[in-house]
Amino acid sequence: MNPLDLLTDFLLAAVNSPWVYLVVFAVVVIDGFFPPVPSESIVVVAAALGVSTGTPDPVAILVLAAVGATLGDTIAYGLGRRIGVTRFRWMGGRRAGDAIERAGRGLARRPASLLLVARYIPVGRVAVNMTAGATRLPFRRFWPLAVLAGACWSVYSVLIGIVAGTAFTDQPVLGAMIGVALALCLGLGIDRVVTSAGRRRERIAASVVTARGTAAAPGTGAAARTGAM
């Protein structure tokens, strides 16, 4: 049984217990710096169950998810600032390496938009936040963006759960699972769009550099010929 199944079963069993709020908060915080933990899925499941069964309270889940996301992202920033982005084994994989490389390039050009968008991409957000710390992005600039990103992500995740829970009020488990599937698909879609846009910008930048070099070459040659004469 994978971690998501275990956490989902726990939420279903403890749906009427105050412990459910602590679990949601802890999972969201940990996911901020340890991507294998599925925070989107847990928030969606909790919100869907809240709409279908009355507990947990979706508003409380929204607030806890926003605070937890901000705290988790800040921890990732701190880890990157202290130890860099190469000390963890999971960062040695190709996907993580590509994400870190893109994060470094993106933070140099558009830190605000990248930090906001990366919150919706499980591995991407950790890579971006740790890279922000490693590259010494000022904390006074990072933290307000982390707060905004966490709040927007929380609203997004809870809304998916509410929509799924409302559509399947009589079958809360089915609604929760459909909400998780929808969140995963949207996350993958955002990842694809961001990656494609980044590669397109890189190709455009490379073509501009090449064009400038080609345009400069004739002038250089002409100047050389004039000097020779």
* Helix, strand, or coil (residue 199): helix
Q: Which residue in 212, 189, 201, 208 sits closest to 108, CA to CA? A: 201
Quick one: tokens of 171? 């079958």
Question: What percent of the chain clears pLDDT 90, i.e. is strictly above it?
Answer: 23
Q: Which residues make Cβ contacts (< 8 Å) with residue 86, sequence separation at least 6? A: 92
Ordered by start, the domain boundaries in the chain are 3-228
Question: What percent of the chain clears pLDDT 70, i.e. is strictly above it?
Answer: 59
Q: Which residues make Cβ contacts (< 8 Å) with residue 134, sequence separation at least 6? A: 80, 81, 84, 85
Q: What is the pLDDT of residues 69-104, one digit of tens each?
A: 999 999 999 999 998 776 655 555 566 666 667 777
Q: Measured between alpha carbons, how far is 25 from 61 in angstroms, rounded to an integer?
A: 8
Look at residue 120 in the predicted model and tell me its pLDDT: 84
Nearest-Å Rg of the Cα atoms of the chain is 22
Mean pLDDT across the chain, nearest whole number?
75
Q: What is the pLDDT of residues 138-181, one digit of tens each?
A: 999 999 999 999 999 999 889 888 888 787 555 555 555 665 56
Look at residue 144 in the predicted model and tell me its pLDDT: 93
Q: What is the pLDDT of residues 13-32, one digit of tens each?
A: 666 677 889 989 999 999 99
Look at residue 158 in the predicted model and tell me its pLDDT: 92
Q: Measured between alpha carbons, how far is 163 from 166 in angstroms, rounded to an integer?
A: 5
Q: What is the DSSP letter of 55?
A: -
Is 46 within 8 Å of 59 (Cβ atoms)? Answer: no
| Amino acid occupying residue 56 | P
Q: What is the pLDDT of residues 23-64, one digit of tens each?
A: 899 999 999 998 777 788 888 888 888 888 888 899 999 999
Q: Measured between alpha carbons, how far is 162 from 47 in angstroms, rounded to an integer?
A: 6
Q: Tell me the pLDDT band of 134, cut-offs 50, 70 and 90.
A: confident
Quote the pTM value.
0.72
Q: Tell me the pLDDT band of 229, cut-offs 50, 70 and 90.
A: very low
Task: Tell me, rounded to whole angstroms, the distance of Cα 204 from its chain centroid.
Answer: 25
